[in-house]
Amino acid sequence: MDEILKNSPSMLRITDDTLVLILAGGRGSRLYELTDKRAKPAVYFGGSCRIIDFALSNCINSNLNRIGVVTQYMAHSLLRHLQHSWSFLPRERNEFVDMLPARQQLDDSTWYRGTADAVYQNCDIMKSHYKPKYVLILAGDHIYKMNYAQMLLDHVSSGAKCTVGCIEVEKEKASEFGVMGVNENLQVTDFIEKPKNPPTMQGKPDTCLASMGIYVFDADYLYSILDQEFAKPESNHDFGKDIIPQALKEGVLYAHPFSRSCMGRNPQGEIYWRDVGTIDALWEANIDLVTEHPQLDIFDQRWPIRSTPKQTFPSKFFYKHLRKTRALDNSLVGGGCIITDAIISNSVLFDHVVAKEGSQVEFSVILPEVTIGKNVVIKRAIIDRHCNIPDGMEIGVDLELDARRFRVSKGGVVLVTSKMLGKLKQETEQQAKKAYKAEP
């Protein structure tokens, strides 16, 4: 962050007057079984982090230390992570990471019905307790580095009531986003939510300007527009479908290009932002980290990504028979792992992974506390936490077989969970019993 900007009285006043709300209640259904027991923001990433750590780290690095995390779906692991990893901010300085789970504020049957409703149901708390002048609303499920303070400064300088973060995307991918048009002052002139035929940018026929799902509001305007929206019976209770179009209609909506505040560019100088909402996207973003020049630099301490500080023993690598072989290369390995005569290549291993003799792990992501038995082969896979891979099993070798036992993505990445392994073990035992009874 620019030191002059960081230390200017106006900037400090703006950040002190801002409440951050991170919307972290989504399931992430395209991750399938990986989010059966955890919300998408709680999914593991990069050998030591959870996805939500990026939004939270961006806040701390931007001097935004008044944060509420809005949760709903399968929130237990996310709440534990927040308690263990993000409870260090000093309350006496009015700094905090508060948890705002769905509480059926309206009645005993109404949970959060959309992104806007998740904020609306917390408005009373915001008005009576937090009392912000500005509200920054973030999604908790994207991988990127961003200086939110710059976006806040642009919001205040423009005179906007609402500012939306935007990013340039290829036209063929734009139908997944809200797409906008802007004038020379970055005032939004058009906004279409997830259009089938998205309009392109002027002079860039293959590129669209898309919403990142990041919003800054003047707090009083946010309360007012949410009250109006709640009164409409036909409302979707969604920012992209309802609130942003209304702000556009009122002429108070401005855009903030991500290029102005991006703090994590790739080696070519291009901005880095990823939605790791599919198995393939999650695998690709993780495997990118072990390349020679990764698109995302997780070691850059100028904009650090914080996570759970774990006290583990060092990882142990013991080789009796593979001393002349490249048994470990191009990989990230977390603490407390024990690798014995196993080949680990182009992979990300989280903490407390055990890999036994004769096993091979290639181009794979192994989540915490996984045990890999002897002579196991794992290729192009994501192995979920607490899996115990039995001796001799092959994963990622025969995708037709894998599709019957596990989940295989469109890109050929195999997802394995402990539940799948338990079901496979039960089926194998039943088949063995039938075969034994059938013997003469």
CATH of the domain at 425: 2.160.10.10
Q: Is pLDDT of 320 > 60? A: yes
- In this predicted structure, what is the pLDDT of residue 110? 58
d(CA 378, CA 372): 9
112 known ligand binder: yes
Token pair recorded at residue 26:
């989504």
Same-domain check for residues 67 and 149: yes
- Average the pLDDT over 89-103 and give the result: 91
263-310 tens-digit pLDDT? 999 999 999 999 999 999 999 999 999 999 999 999 999 999 999 877
Q: What are phi and psi of 192, to 5 degrees?
A: -130, 125
Q: pTM for the complete prediction?
A: 0.93
Same-domain check for residues 217 and 160: yes
Give the residue numbers spanning the domain of 84. Answer: 1-290
Residue 440 lies in a domain: no
Residue 69 lies in a domain: yes
pLDDT confidence of 5, banded at 50, 70, 90?
very low
Same-domain check for residues 247 and 151: yes
Residue 299 lies in a domain: no
373-387 tens-digit pLDDT? 999 999 999 999 999
Share of the chain above pLDDT 70, in %: 95
Residue 383 burial by Cβ neighbours in a 10 Å radius (0-12, 13-18, 19+): buried
Other Cβ atoms less than 10 A from the Cβ of 409: the count is: 19
- Average the pLDDT over 244-254 and give the result: 97
Residue 59 lies in a domain: yes
Same-domain check for residues 227 and 361: no
Residue 207 lies in a domain: yes
Boundary (domain end) residue, out of 290, 308, 343: 290
Is the CB of residue 331 less than 8 Å from the CB of residue 290? yes
Same-domain check for residues 364 and 284: no
Residue 305 lies in a domain: no
- In this predicted structure, what is the pLDDT of residue 1? 44
Token pair recorded at residue 309:
């500080």
Same-domain check for residues 279 and 323: no
Question: C-alpha distances in angstroms, 393 versus 359, 383, 407, 430, 432?
Answer: 9, 13, 16, 18, 17
194 known ligand binder: yes
Q: What are phi and psi of 434, to 5 degrees?
A: -65, -45
178 known ligand binder: yes
Worst-scoring range by mean pLDDT, 95-109, 195-209, 285-299, 420-434?
A: 95-109
Residue 151 lies in a domain: yes
d(CA 179, CA 181): 7
Rg, the chain, Cα only: 24
The count of domains in the chain is 2
- In this predicted structure, what is the pLDDT of residue 440? 66
